[in-house]
Structure 1
Amino acid sequence: MSTDGKKLVRSPSGLRMLPENRAYSSPFCLEEPQWVPDKECPRCMHCEAKFDFITRKHHCRRCGKCFCDKCCSKKVPLPRMCFVDPVRQCGECSIISQKEMEFYDRQLKVLMNGATFDINHGSSEKSETIACRLSNNHRYLFLDGENHYEIEFARISTVQILTEGFNPGGGNSRATGMLLQYKNAGSDELLQMKFTTSEDINSNKKTTASWLAAMHKAAKLLYESRDQ
């Protein structure tokens, strides 16, 4: 896990702060889209207004499609593409980016602050108390107890949050842990860890529940990144 050095890069969409080595990019990052060529876009791809000298075309920095100013006027932060400043986005994309800001502003910090769990490897009944946190570059889960483990976030296959007290009417369930499946480094072997909360080690249940909720959101973003 070497350098975390970054460099400022200018793209057609704006300034981006990127890792010097792209292999060290955050797993939550998205690549810039290819812009729809101007010649293929005579009308706004939302309201179908015809482009002319007065009605100018603009490209959404998130999806790359062409829009008129009315349909693509908002400038919104886009940390998933590492933009330094807010960038122009269409209405649909701006809503998505605004929702993601909660993850970057709050939940990433929760994951990096960490929480403590009992873990079981595979089907083993022997548990180990560990402190789990996300690395500063978002690329690894660090697990520290009697032993030290590092799980590459991009190799996580599934995250299942465990709950108890589920009520179909809602309101009574609480997170008690998670099942984490990931591919072993250097192979396609699928491994599993079970994380459970313990009354002995978790005096602050709110902190642990917040960490599990943030982990669920992080996994959702990871799966979405793979589909794009």
Structure 2
Amino acid sequence: MSGGDAKKLVRSPSGLRMVPEHRAARSPFGLDEPPWVPDKECPRCMQCDTKFDFITRKHHCRRCGKCFCDKCCSKKVPLPRMCFVDPVRQCAECALVSQKETEFYDKQLKVLMNGATFFVTLGTSDKSELMVCRLSNNQRYLILDGDSHYEIEIIQISTVQILTEGFTPGGGNTRAIGMILQYKVPGSEEVTQMKFTAGEDFSSNKKLSAAWLAAMHKATKLLYESRDQ
């Protein structure tokens, strides 16, 4: 892994942000601040259509950049994906999304960093290796340690397929038992595939692996959203 993970405090129109000194060191799950809709282009609230005047002030949602009245944009919610130091003003729709993401940053991110054990199969090989898989502290690498060692850049991951068991046509509980990961090696267009399979030895290990896979599933969704921004 490369160094250069130092951060700096910057002030934007939306608030204080603690960001990496170099853009290349940013989290792959992060989002850029949106451009604000210019004041002259929003004479009315973009939610309830209330007209702005000296009494009814306009506010910009820090997540979507749209213009709202105080009633429609009153919630201040943490927004770690944009590196804000304090909770920031968001419209009701964006606040709901940000609140749901809080679970990932408060709980699931720690699960990914703590790691879990899987049998890992590379490509079309018929041999697997027992490895501890974890997310790096800077969130930029998936680290695999066993007899071999791999560091996969999160931004190079192209697809993640979570493997489950227990599904029936009529519905029912499912359990994550592994995943298939495809990624590109930097400097190459070749796609490499890895298969992760949870062990069947101890129930505690299976629960830990299932929790790690669930967290990875959520992380993948955030990764795709960041790319599509």
TM-score range, shorter chain: over 0.9
Partner of 1:98: 99
Which residue is 2:154 aligned to?
153
Is the contact between residue 116 and residue 202 of structure 1 (CA under 8 Å) also seen in structure 2? no
Q: Give how far 1:7 is off.
A: 0.6
Structure 1: 5+ residue stretches without partners:
none
Unaligned runs of 5+ in 2: none
SS of 2:150's equivalent in the other structure is strand
Read off the aligned partner of 2:144 and give its amino acid letter.
Answer: L
Identity between Structure 1 and Structure 2 (%) = 77
Structure 2 match to 1:53:
54
Q: TM-score, normalised by structure 1?
A: 0.97
Tell me how far 1:204 sits from its aligned partner.
Answer: 2.2
| 2:170 aligned with 1:144 | no
Distance 1:227 1:42, change over 3 A: same
Note the 1:27-176 alignment, pairs <5 A.
27-176=28-177
What number of residue pairs does the alignment pair up?
A: 228
CA distance in 1, matches of 2:68, 2:11: 22
Alpha-carbon RMSD across the aligned residues, in angstroms, is: 1.1
> Contact between 1:117 and 1:201, CA under 8 Å: does it hold in 2?
no
The TM-score, its normalising length taken from structure 2, stands at: 0.97
Alpha-carbon deviation of 1:164?
1.6
Measure the CA separation in 1 of the matches of 2:4 and 2:42. Answer: 42
Tell me if the contact between 2:114 and 2:134 (Cα under 8 Å) persists in the aligned partners: yes
- Distance between the aligned counterparts of 1:202 and 1:156, measured in 2? 29
- What letter corresponds to residue 123 of structure 2 in structure 1? G
Aligned-partner residue type, residue 209 of structure 1: A
Secondary structure at the aligned position of 1:204 is classed as helix
Tell me the alpha carbon deviations over residues 179-207 of structure 1, each in whole angstroms, 9 at most, x when there is no partner. 00111111121110000012247742111
Does the C-alpha gap of structure 1 residues 158 and 215 become closer, same or farther in structure 2, counting only changes over 3 Å? same
How far does residue 18 in structure 1 lie from its aligned partner after superposition?
Answer: 0.3
